[in-house]
Structure 1
């Protein structure tokens, strides 16, 4: 069963208003053609509900738990030439959408855990997961494209994938390069010693990253159990002040989260009070302005 959680924000200026959707569902390992078809059907449904920026889970076309490198290689695609990206490009163009979708990328002999970033006019670019989790290290190369920011008619979009969210540098480098929203395709798994009475760690980290950097976060997780690996669900969309606007979603059920965001608030609300602004208060006399990034301009 697929449920929807749709929130609207009233009395917001229209200058950067966009309806964002996170599509939480269960890809089936190895069933790429069926996974693509199911993702397109869900994208179409979200678009019918008014969504214009849509985030899909990590490796949503292939499944996640590969038995061997040969399986990962066969399921991976060149970007943007493969059938998954072609299907997402077609629906984005037809319905006027921006889509961020997790995909296994093949670049020559190298494999990457990537996200395709797509707009109404076609393929915008690739994000490659910088921080590999667990047995991903057996199949994928660490990302080598940094943390790009795409300037779109909707606003400035950055991407992270799953374990990238455990590193505060991910959020900070995106914010310093102008990102207003961080889109997170993810396959969150249980953390050791998780208390049952507290939010899952992934949700806490998304909220803290949003709060500390004045940036919206839209995280789309998967559900289900794949080859013995359970996944958390709990997708969510976080305000630039750090509080959830939609979700956390179900831990077990497929679900659509949708909310209207005014991305201009990522700049308007960064000041915490008269004196404090998390980006301007940084002690750059003590640590590097861009924390090792080669980006040339910050936008705070």
Structure 2
């Protein structure tokens, strides 16, 4: 059996006034719990180190830069890496990345069990808008502060498995899972910060949001015969509610662990990577069943073109 004991480290809200050090202290507490439960991989949310700052419109680039990390690990996160190394637990978490070239990405990293960064993913499917929108109940300015990811959807071999990453809105796009599925992915880890209400349609509330999130991850898992671990940052963040719903999904699309709160909470599952084999060799045997001669529209156009 190729087993990875995965922990999904759901986090409650990070307020605007919280320091990186205060946030990391909570992450360390979750890491301690993960050690006690025998985890070999611990996954934290998107933008784990800060509040979800794209909800604010900012014109001063110096102010924007305060939410970004120019190196990783850095002074604030060094204790997290050190303790993960001491425990022999691989970690994955999201943060706002500013590159040496001055590019800005919504990034997630993956380490090995010695706390060496072995993988980096930059969010591809950026939701929201780039300018202040008076028609929205609240702002969602990811397109203002981030560039679309430039690393694609790679997978990495670690802990005797093929592991990939995604971030938040990526989980809603089937292409995200399929590109990794075509590389044989067996475990996809992703973090998210998802508002509890739709800023453009107020009648879509928490129940609908949670359903769509689960639907996205369970279908992606099933259709690519892979484990999926989705981890939320949630709760009332500076007056803006974020939904929870963290879960671990098996390669048959079934939820095997689910968070019960809207705060810091660890859920775990011993994930057998060999559980993905049957699906990959039968109904989703891509080599035998895919018909790529009919899929050209997927990569040749972005918007909808209706027949006359």
* TM bucket, shorter chain: 0.7 to 0.9
Q: Which of 141, 163, 167 is the aligned partner of 1:161?
A: 167
Q: Which of 160, 164, 175 is the aligned partner of 2:181?
A: 175
Q: How many residues align?
A: 273
CA contact (8 A) 2:190 2:231 kept: yes
Quote the residue 1:143 is aligned against. Answer: 149
Quote the residue 2:289 is aligned against. Answer: 281
State which drifts further: 160-169 or 63-72.
63-72
SS in 2 for 1:211: helix
Q: Which of 28, 40, 45 is the aligned partner of 1:57?
A: 45
Q: What is the distance in 1 between the residues matched to 2:24 and 2:11?
A: 12
Q: Which of 99, 105, 123 is the aligned partner of 1:112?
A: 105
CA contact (8 A) 1:65 1:227 kept: no
CA contact (8 A) 1:157 1:183 kept: yes
Q: What is the distance in 2 between the residues matched to 1:79 and 1:153?
A: 25
Q: What is the distance in 2 between the residues matched to 1:253 and 1:41?
A: 13
Distance 1:77 1:145, change over 3 A: same
Could you report, residue by residue, the CA deviation over 1:251-291 in whole angstroms, capped at 9, with x for unpaired residues?
5233211011101211233356xxx3363422112126x96
SS in 1 for 2:294: coil
Structure 1: give runs of 5+ residues left out of the alignment.
1-13, 293-300
CA contact (8 A) 1:18 1:263 kept: yes
Larger-gyration structure (1/2) = 2
Distance 1:154 1:88, change over 3 A: farther
Q: Which of 83, 94, 103 is the aligned partner of 1:91?
A: 83
Distance 1:84 1:131, change over 3 A: farther
Quote the residue 1:255 is aligned against. Answer: 265
Runs of 4+ in 1 over 4 A off after TM superposition: 195-199
Q: Which of 124, 129, 135 is the aligned partner of 2:123?
A: 129
Quote the residue 1:5 is aligned against. Answer: none
Quote the residue 1:230 is aligned against. Answer: 241
What's the TM-score, normalizing by structure 2? Answer: 0.81
Q: CA RMSD in A?
A: 2.2
Distance 1:235 1:81, change over 3 A: closer
Structure 2: give runs of 5+ residues left out of the alignment.
129-140, 301-308
Q: What is the distance in 1 between the residues matched to 2:8 and 2:206?
A: 24
What's the TM-score, normalizing by structure 1? Answer: 0.84
Quote the residue 1:82 is aligned against. Answer: 74
In the TM superposition, residue 195 of structure 1 has moved relative to its aligned partner by 6.9
CA contact (8 A) 2:95 2:106 kept: yes
Q: What is the distance in 1 between the residues matched to 2:255 and 2:266?
A: 15
Matched, 1:31 2:19: yes
Distance 1:196 1:79, change over 3 A: closer
Q: What is the distance in 1 between the residues matched to 2:158 and 2:76?
A: 22
